[in-house]
Amino acid sequence: MRNKEVSKILSNIARFLAMDNVAFKPQAYERAALGIESMEEDIENLYSEKKLKTIPGVGEGIAKAIEEYLKTGTIRIYEEYKKKLPIDLDALTALEGLGAKRARVLYQKLKIRSIKDLERAAKNHKIAPVFGFGEKTEKNILEGIQFLKRDKGRFLLGDIMPTVKDVFDRLASLKEVKKISLAGSLRRMKETIGDGDILIVSTFPSKVVNAFINFPGVEKVWAKGSTKASVRMKEGFDIDLRIVPAKSYGSALQYFTGSKDHNIRTRLRAMEKGLKLNEYGVFRGSKMIAGRTEKEVYSAIGLPFIPPELREDHGELNFPLPSLVEMKDIKGDLHCHSDWDGGSDSIKDMASYADSLGYEYLGIADHTKFLRIEHGLDEKQLLKQREAVKKITSFKVIQGCETNILTNGTCDIKDSVLSQLDYVIAGVHSQMKMTKEEMTDRIIRAMKNPHIDIIAHPTGRLIQRRDEFLLDFDKILRAAKETGTILEINSNPLRLDLKDVNIRRAREAGVKMVINTDSHQKEQMELMEYGVAQARRGWAEKKDIVNTYSLNKLLECL
Ligand code: DGT
Ligand code: CA
Ligand code: CA
């Protein structure tokens, strides 16, 4: 499958086109890139069947570009753009607030090509005087760089999971592979990942190792032994592979899933029982008493099976374990954007995608007018949209909106219109730097508006890019409980907001939550799995999450 590379190059071209202020084309390239990235079919097959134009966003021009890429390994206009603008666009635009256009200005004015150049310029106060930048931007750039440094070498779960899944599927299809599992932080679904870990049982380890190190996308081989290997993928992260005998699979999986702190606890627990636990098994003296399955291993040391997401030494050996919410419990997604606010897909298309995911209902919550860059809807448009939603009968769609909590805690849509919608989401999208007291009061004031049901991405963080708001979270929880406001668990891998520890606090405070994807394109609804994983890491059960409810019960609490 070369889908990912094709998608990447199209999306890069989109950015270059956008920088050149070309109209419409960038959106088409971006849309094509997203479509290709998320589709199941192999792009090369579609090409050989002359069906490229069935991909959303792909017209004559883009089809030609794809053909050129598949044949020559690059696209001429892309090479030309790169020559004109020889900068590390990916790294630079990874900084919060620095888009492609601004990166180009910095190159033209200050010859900034890399993060290093950028940092030097910002420290020497060269950025602020550039037209359109200013002191504040310069400060934000420096802060952003500090963020990158702090998390150096860690990757967003959602960025690396698709590649690891590819590798996993390739391994799983080898006939020499008898058992396979993700391990490490990936299996625990941590929000950021140092490296990927995969564990295998095989009848012919050296064959598996050889196949693995020759997979497409493997850029470097760090180490290769008879039962393990470690490689660097071209996306820049590493994958460790280990092959173990069947009789130790459970104990090895337990060991390599971690976390380290959880492992220390389990080993101590074993010792208290006069046993020894290591990656080879559970032993009484020299006799091995368990090791084949994880369940057997936990049971031998007197513990129930502990779901991987809980293995963080957060009390999982001592508390009664929750019965965690699962993907299959999710009945709908309540935070999805349509083409009414500039999202990619019509309400109808979003609805049929929700249907294909096996959901019972879909909530459309478009941005509202304060967010002009997001084409936010005003009162009139919301009411018009309401009529449009009513006409959809093929799937149950409910209509909300994602209104903006303004600095004083009021929101940008009149109550008389909010009251007509099925539900209302509210979120902070501006003025994020307020004192703790101000920000807490701002959000609580919004919660007290009887029309507001859900607070979107409540703490405002962007992982590795932007800190949480300063918030008195206990106060927020008390207010949520009092007003019956639901807190969102936003599934976007860059947000995961609420995060695990806050989910646990919310649950303990008796505050309900909703797991949403905040999709601006139908395929993004698949991000739900990251939100569910985060909820599980926060010990959440089905009853804590309102979009596990049937529609009637859901509407009652909205
Ligand atoms: P990461 O890769 O930084 O996101 O985090 P992990 O948890 O995947 O860590 P990694 O890849 O270094 O090792 C995988 C697992 O192997 C880890 O979760 C627990 C186990 N492990 C590795 N080194 C040690 C160790 O020194 N002591 C113990 N008890 N376990 C270890
Ligand atoms: Ca790891
Ligand atoms: Ca590792």
Which of 486, 535, 508 minimizes the C-alpha distance to 326? 535
> Do 12 and 122 lie in a common domain?
yes
Q: Using CA positions, which residue lies closest to atom 8 of ligand 1?
A: 184
> Do 409 and 544 lie in a common domain?
yes
The dihedral built from the CA positions of residue 48, 51, 56 and 58, taken in this order, carries a sign that is positive
State the pTM of this model: 0.82
Segments forming the whole domain that contains residue 282: 248-310
**Contact predicate 380/373, CB 8 Å:** no
Could you tell me the distance, in angstroms and rounded to a whole number, from the CA of residue 363 to the centre of ligand 1?
40
What local confidence, expressed as pLDDT, does residue 151 receive? 67
Q: Note down pLDDT in tens along the chain; length 558 residues.
A: 788 889 989 988 988 888 887 777 888 898 898 888 878 888 999 999 999 998 888 889 999 999 999 999 999 999 999 898 899 888 898 887 788 888 999 999 999 999 999 999 999 999 999 988 999 889 989 988 887 777 677 999 999 999 999 999 999 999 999 999 999 999 999 999 999 999 999 999 999 999 999 999 999 999 999 999 999 999 989 999 999 999 999 999 999 999 999 999 999 999 999 999 999 999 999 999 999 999 999 999 999 999 999 999 999 999 899 999 999 999 999 999 999 998 889 999 999 999 999 999 999 999 999 887 778 999 999 999 999 999 999 999 999 999 999 999 999 999 999 999 999 999 999 989 899 999 999 999 999 999 999 999 999 999 988 899 999 999 999 999 999 999 999 999 999 999 999 999 999 999 999 999 999 999 999 999 999 999 999 999 999 999 999 999 999 989
Count of other CB atoms within 10 angstroms of residue 148? 16
Three-state secondary structure of 481-512: HHHCCEEEEECCCCCCECCHHHHHHHHHCCCC
DSSP classification of residue 382 = H
Amino acid symbol at 248: S
Backbone angles phi, psi at 97, to 5 degrees: 90, -5
DSSP classification of residue 304 = P
Instruction: Evaluate whether residue 106 is within a structural domain.
Output: yes
The dihedral built from the CA positions of residue 157, 159, 162 and 168, taken in this order, carries a sign that is negative
The closest ligand to the CA of 258 turns out to be 1
Could you tell me the distance, in angstroms and rounded to a whole number, from the CA of residue 226 to the centre of ligand 3?
17
> Do 232 and 288 lie in a common domain?
no
> Do 413 and 537 lie in a common domain?
yes
Count of other CB atoms within 10 angstroms of residue 237? 19
Q: Using CA positions, which residue lies closest to atom 18 of ligand 1?
A: 258
Instruction: Evaluate whether residue 423 is within a structural domain.
Output: yes
| Residue 352, burial from CB neighbour count under 10 angstroms (0-12, 13-18, 19+) | middle
The closest ligand to the CA of 257 turns out to be 1
What is the token pair recorded at 123? 């420290």
Whole-number Cα distances in Å, 18 to 12, 13, 76, 81, 96: 10, 8, 17, 12, 18
> Do 282 and 181 lie in a common domain?
no
> Do 239 and 256 lie in a common domain?
no
Assign residue 167 the CATH number of its domain.
3.30.460.10
| Helices and strands: H and E segment counts in the chain | 23, 17
Backbone angles phi, psi at 551, to 5 degrees: -55, -45
The closest ligand to the CA of 313 turns out to be 1
What is the token pair recorded at 270? 């074993």
**Contact predicate 157/493, CB 8 Å:** yes
Radius of gyration of the chain measured on its C-alpha atoms: 25
Instruction: Evaluate whether residue 531 is within a structural domain.
Output: yes
What is the token pair recorded at 432? 């994020």
The dihedral built from the CA positions of residue 95, 96, 99 and 105, taken in this order, carries a sign that is negative
Q: How far apart are CA 29 and CA 41, in angstroms?
A: 19
What local confidence, expressed as pLDDT, does residue 465 receive? 87
How many domains does the structure of the chain reveal?
Answer: 4
DSSP classification of residue 297 = H
Assign residue 287 the CATH number of its domain.
3.30.210.10
The closest ligand to the CA of 240 turns out to be 3
> Do 213 and 252 lie in a common domain?
no
Instruction: Evaluate whether residue 100 is within a structural domain.
Output: yes
Report the atom number in ligand 1 closest to the C-alpha of 186.
8
Q: Helices in 357-435 by DSSP H: which ranges?
A: 379-390, 415-418
What local confidence, expressed as pLDDT, does residue 507 receive? 98
What is the token pair recorded at 369? 């007018």
> Do 164 and 217 lie in a common domain?
yes
What is the token pair recorded at 543? 């009853």
**Contact predicate 325/544, CB 8 Å:** yes
What local confidence, expressed as pLDDT, does residue 449 receive? 97
Q: Using CA positions, which residue lies closest to atom 26 of ligand 1?
A: 260
Residues with CB under 6 A from ligand 1: 184-185, 190, 193-195, 197, 255-256, 258-260, 263-264
Whole-number Cα distances in Å, 21 to 14, 27, 487: 11, 11, 39
What is the token pair recorded at 480? 């949520």
> Do 346 and 464 lie in a common domain?
yes
Backbone angles phi, psi at 411, to 5 degrees: -125, 170
Q: Using CA positions, which residue lies closest to atom 5 of ligand 1?
A: 185
What local confidence, expressed as pLDDT, does residue 147 receive? 78
Which of 186, 197, 141, 184 minimizes the C-alpha distance to 159? 186
Report the atom number in ligand 1 closest to the C-alpha of 240.
11
Could you tell me the distance, in angstroms and rounded to a whole number, from the CA of residue 192 to the centre of ligand 1?
14
| Residue 554, burial from CB neighbour count under 10 angstroms (0-12, 13-18, 19+) | buried
Question: Where is the domain boundary, 219, 243, 267?
Answer: 243
For residues 44-57, one letter each, b for 16 or more C-beta atoms within 10 angstroms of the residue's C-beta and e for the rest, the string is: eebbeeeebeebbb
> Do 364 and 260 lie in a common domain?
no
What local confidence, expressed as pLDDT, does residue 56 receive? 82
- Using DSSP, state whether 275 is helix, strand or coil: coil
Could you tell me the distance, in angstroms and rounded to a whole number, from the CA of residue 261 to the centre of ligand 1?
9
Instruction: Evaluate whether residue 317 is within a structural domain.
Output: no
Q: How far apart are CA 538 and CA 506, in angstroms?
A: 9
Could you tell me the distance, in angstroms and rounded to a whole number, from the CA of residue 260 to the centre of ligand 1?
6
**Contact predicate 299/390, CB 8 Å:** no
> Do 60 and 161 lie in a common domain?
no
Could you tell me the distance, in angstroms and rounded to a whole number, from the CA of residue 296 to the centre of ligand 1?
21
Question: Where is the domain boundary, 150, 180, 200?
Answer: 150
Residue of 185, 238, 241, 294 to test ligand 1 pocket, by largest number of atoms within 8 Å of CB:
185
Q: How far apart are CA 370 and CA 373, in angstroms?
A: 9
**Contact predicate 65/77, CB 8 Å:** yes
Instruction: Evaluate whether residue 289 is within a structural domain.
Output: yes
Q: Using CA positions, which residue lies closest to atom 17 of ligand 1?
A: 258
> Do 470 and 345 lie in a common domain?
yes
